[in-house]
Amino acid sequence: MKDTYDKSLPFAASIRWIKKETRDTLSFALRIEDEHIRKAYAFAPGQFNMLSVPGVGEAPISISSGPSDDILLHTIRVAGDVTTALSRFEAGNVLGVRGPFGNGWPMERAEMKRLLIIAGGLGIAPLRPVLRYMLKNEKPNASPAEIPPLIYGARSPRNILFRDEFRSYAAVFDVHITVDKADPQEHWSGNIGLMPPLLDKISLSSKAPDTTAFICGPEVMMRCLIEELLARGLRGENIFLSMERNMNCGMGTCGHCMFAQKFVCKDGPVFRYQDIAALLAVKEL
Amino acid sequence: MKSRLKDFFEVLGPSYRIIGPKIENGVVILAEIKYGDIPAGYRDSQKPGRYRLSPEKDSQVFSFSSGPDSFKRFLNPPLAELFHFHRFETGLGITSPPFSEKGGISETGLPICFMGIRACDLWALKLYDRIFPGGRVRDRTYESLRRNSLIIAFNCLYPSGNCFCLSTGTGPEVKDTFDVAVTELKDSFLLEEGSARGKEILGLLPLGHAGERQSLEKRERIETCKALFRKSIAADELPEIIFRNLDHPHWEDIARRDLECGNCTQVCPTCFCNTSYDFVYPGGISGEDKCNLELSGRRLRKWDSCFSRDFAQVHGGNFRLSRKARYRHWMAHKLAYMQDQFGLPGCVGCGRCITWCPAGIDITRELEALRPHS
Ligand SMILES: Cc1cc2nc3c(=O)[nH]c(=O)nc-3n(C[C@H](O)[C@H](O)[C@H](O)COP(=O)(O)OP(=O)(O)OC[C@H]3O[C@@H](n4cnc5c(N)ncnc54)[C@H](O)[C@@H]3O)c2cc1C
Ligand code: SF4
Ligand code: SF4
């Protein structure tokens, strides 16, 4: 699709509302101010925007809303300059947006293949559009074998993002959540511990070679889970992961996000595991 | 006869900013020049970490080879303004710089004429035309500076001691991407058109007729030049040597010599990495120290280098923490990644990174050390 606006310049977006998700993470619902851009703006699940606080800088942030939602949602963890500045914004304030950038998840597979979705921590942000999409396009009378598993891991119960939404996801997904640890006063009765053991709770075996996995989370978590998935019979060509690197321009001209010959901003952030497995094996590329 | 080169300047002067070679601080740099600025008859001596310029007493005009500068400083300025912003509580104004439709820098509104660009740099230019695309995502700075630029290319007759374009297949002869190609002959210049615009320009010059004799002399001179090369790389074994040796112990050895000054990235005509940042006008701040204050400023883009320590830094860590990893990234980008990314060689064999490396690190020798049986 050809963009009819200039992606090298930020456009104004006003904040409709802000929701505090966890202690350090906020969701921002945005509305694109310019009518022409609002109409032309279209994204695919897994793409990201460069959010600009002019005077402070820019940061790449995944789009967390569903493709047909009427607001543009970003869920942001306060990390440094730009994200801190954003955390001080209020509803009604205006920020700059460039995008969407990146390739996104291979959504045709969400229709065709059995899907397995795995998110760790903030890694749920670029996967939420997939969840929203599938919720909207729910397959009626899906047989239990077709129900896609959704595995989510968070540091603690109070760090679970979009916590109130998981109940609705359970209508379409076989949901499994785990936390690293839980304080007694959090009244957590769910799983505690790392994510790999959850893979034993979903039945993969015979379907494994045909299962497509979408994974996003800290790189160490993804590496470890991918190993587990391969051991359980998933194929490298069916595993997709979303990578994070330093990004400055979002358009492949600044060089910051290079992961060997890949520009994470335009060749990714979603990569087929098989295509980058050899590169992931080398340290510090 | 050779002073007729001046005609070029007269014909092109009114419609172009002519960028060509000139001596500054004992070095041939590129700048906006007049005919008289050309360092006619100077010869450079280049070795790893060394550059010396001396007047040569022969009748050649272009006996010098490339200095540290290349077209990149003009098409991708070291500091460029991306846009101006004015931000207030409930609004955001973005104004892009006034790019000229004619091409070139807005103040003069004139497109650039590169006078004396060499074969290696033409390959780098071709690469730049792919890096900063005019397509889906536009780079407006590059696009407007490149627009209508005129290329007067020169065939090299004297490679510097660090040139190895013969082995990378990117020189010394210019093959395409030019409007006019110039070859210095014994008593005259041979001019060849490479585009419709080049033809038009040649039509404006009082030229004599060139025939078989001149073509033959050109060939002879280029062949003589080819015999003068002293450096080469195993280009036909690329990118495999790099990809197979990403864990080679030699990277550690280079890291011990590397000073991480980034000179190599600044002089390399294919290096393009940059960082943009916001510059707030002093006094542009009003209101309390809150984020919804009103301010205005500019987003600027400056050349950066993968040797910068925080280049691959993210919130949770640094993807290239070691010096070894940073050097490897640079060299692998040149010799392996770029070909994959843009379909063109990332090293054009100009030798600049060798000459301007204060540690005298020589990319051709480092590659050789990675090769099996060497
Ligand atoms: C494709 C992609 C999608 C992302 N999606 C989200 C999201 O949905 N929500 C979210 O909270 N975060 C997301 N991030 C991470 C987010 O971009 C960083 O946390 C953010 O850039 C930090 O910016 P800052 O100005 O607040 O920190 P800084 O003050 O910039 O400090 C962090 C340091 O890391 C550098 N940096 C540059 N790029 C990154 C990066 N990608 N990650 C971390 N540091 C970086 C900065 O230059 C600086 O050196 C995403 C990152 C990528 C690459
Ligand atoms: S890597 Fe060195 S020799 Fe190759 S193009 Fe760059 S500066 Fe020239
Ligand atoms: S290789 Fe040489 S020029 Fe490049 S950063 Fe190292 S010391 Fe500087």
Query: What mean pLDDT is predicted for residues B360-370?
Result: 97
pLDDT number for residue B244: 95
Convert the pLDDT of each residue in B148-199 to its tens digit.
Answer: 999 999 999 999 999 999 999 999 999 999 999 999 999 899 999 999 999 9
Whether A1 maps to a domain, the answer reads no
A136 and A246 assigned to the same domain: yes
How large a percentage of chain A has pLDDT more than 70?
96
Whether A24 maps to a domain, the answer reads yes
Query: What mean pLDDT is predicted for residues A268-285?
Result: 96
Convert the pLDDT of each residue in A239-263 to its tens digit.
Answer: 999 999 999 999 999 999 999 999 9
pLDDT number for residue A271: 98
Whether A209 maps to a domain, the answer reads yes
Residue B285 has pLDDT above 60, yes or no: no
Residue B283 has pLDDT above 80, yes or no: no
Residue A115 has pLDDT above 60, yes or no: yes
Whether A203 maps to a domain, the answer reads yes
Q: At what angle do helices B250-257 and B323-332 cross, to 10 degrees?
A: 100
Interface test with B, best of A33, A61, A254 (most B CBs within 10 A): A254
A91 and A183 assigned to the same domain: no
Contact yes or no for A241/A117 (Cβ under 8 A): no
Of A101, A116, A148, the residue at which a domain comes to its end is A101
pLDDT number for residue A3: 57
Interface test with B, best of A26, A93, A97 (most B CBs within 10 A): A93
With CA atoms as reference, report the closest residue to A241 among A256, A222, A259, A260: A222
Residue A137 has pLDDT above 90, yes or no: no
> B251: pLDDT confidence band, cut at 50, 70 and 90?
very high
Average pLDDT, chain B: 91
CA of B349 to the centre of ligand 2 (A): 5
CA of B97 to the centre of ligand 2 (A): 32
**Out of A93, A252, A284, closest to residue B320 by CB:** A284
Residue B247 has pLDDT above 90, yes or no: yes
A190 and A150 assigned to the same domain: yes
Convert the pLDDT of each residue in A196-240 to its tens digit.
Answer: 999 988 877 788 888 999 999 999 999 999 999 999 999 999 999
> A140: pLDDT confidence band, cut at 50, 70 and 90?
low
In this predicted model, which residue has the larger pLDDT, B134 or A129?
A129
Inter-chain contact A80–B278, Cβ cutoff 8 Å?
no
In this predicted model, which residue has the larger pLDDT, B144 or B16?
B16
Mean pLDDT check: name the lowest of A180-189, A228-237, B93-102.
B93-102
Contact yes or no for B107/A109 (Cβ under 8 A): no
What are the extents of the domains in chain B? 2-232+301-305
Query: What mean pLDDT is predicted for residues B23-50?
Result: 95
Q: Which two tokens stand for residue A61?
A: 């942030």
Between chain A and chain B, how many beta carbons pairs sit less than 8 Å apart? Answer: 139
This prediction has a pTM of 0.93
**Out of B280, B290, B337, closest to residue A260 by CB:** B337
pLDDT number for residue B207: 87
Of A81, A101, A121, the residue at which a domain comes to its end is A101
> A114: pLDDT confidence band, cut at 50, 70 and 90?
confident
**Tell me, what CATH number does A146's domain have?**
3.40.50.80
Inter-chain contact B333–A251, Cβ cutoff 8 Å?
no
Please identify, by atom number, the ligand 3 atom nearest to the C-alpha of residue B263. 3
pLDDT number for residue B29: 97
pLDDT number for residue A208: 87
Interface test with B, best of A25, A30, A284 (most B CBs within 10 A): A284
The domain tally of chain A equals 2
Contacts with A56 from chain B: Cβ below 8 Å: 278, 291
pLDDT number for residue B107: 60
Residue B284 has pLDDT above 70, yes or no: no
Average pLDDT, chain A: 92
**Tell me, what CATH number does A35's domain have?**
2.40.30.10
Which chain A residue has the Cα nearest residue B271? A255
pLDDT number for residue B217: 96
pLDDT number for residue B141: 87
Angle at B142 between CA A102 and CA A62, to 5 degrees: 20
**Out of A8, A80, A283, closest to residue B140 by CB:** A8
Query: What mean pLDDT is predicted for residues A105-122?
Result: 89
pLDDT number for residue B286: 52
Query: What mean pLDDT is predicted for residues B100-114?
Result: 75
Pocket test for ligand 1, best of B308, B309, B314, B320 (most atoms within 8 A of CB): B314
CA of A122 to the centre of ligand 1 (A): 12
Q: At what angle do helices B5-12 and B196-204 cross, to 10 degrees?
A: 110
pLDDT number for residue A1: 44
Residue B245 has pLDDT above 90, yes or no: yes
Protein residue with its CA nearest to atom 4 in ligand 2: B347
A65 and A122 assigned to the same domain: no
Please identify, by atom number, the ligand 3 atom nearest to the C-alpha of residue B261. 8
Residue A2 has pLDDT above 80, yes or no: no
Whether A5 maps to a domain, the answer reads no
Q: At what angle do helices B363-370 and B250-257 cross, to 10 degrees?
A: 160
Convert the pLDDT of each residue in A6-59 to its tens digit.
Answer: 899 999 999 999 999 999 999 999 999 999 999 999 999 999 999 999 999 999
Protein residue with its CA nearest to atom 25 in ligand 1: A82
The amino acid at residue A210 is D
- The domain of A227 spans 107-280
Of A77, A101, A125, the residue at which a domain comes to its end is A101
Whether A6 maps to a domain, the answer reads no
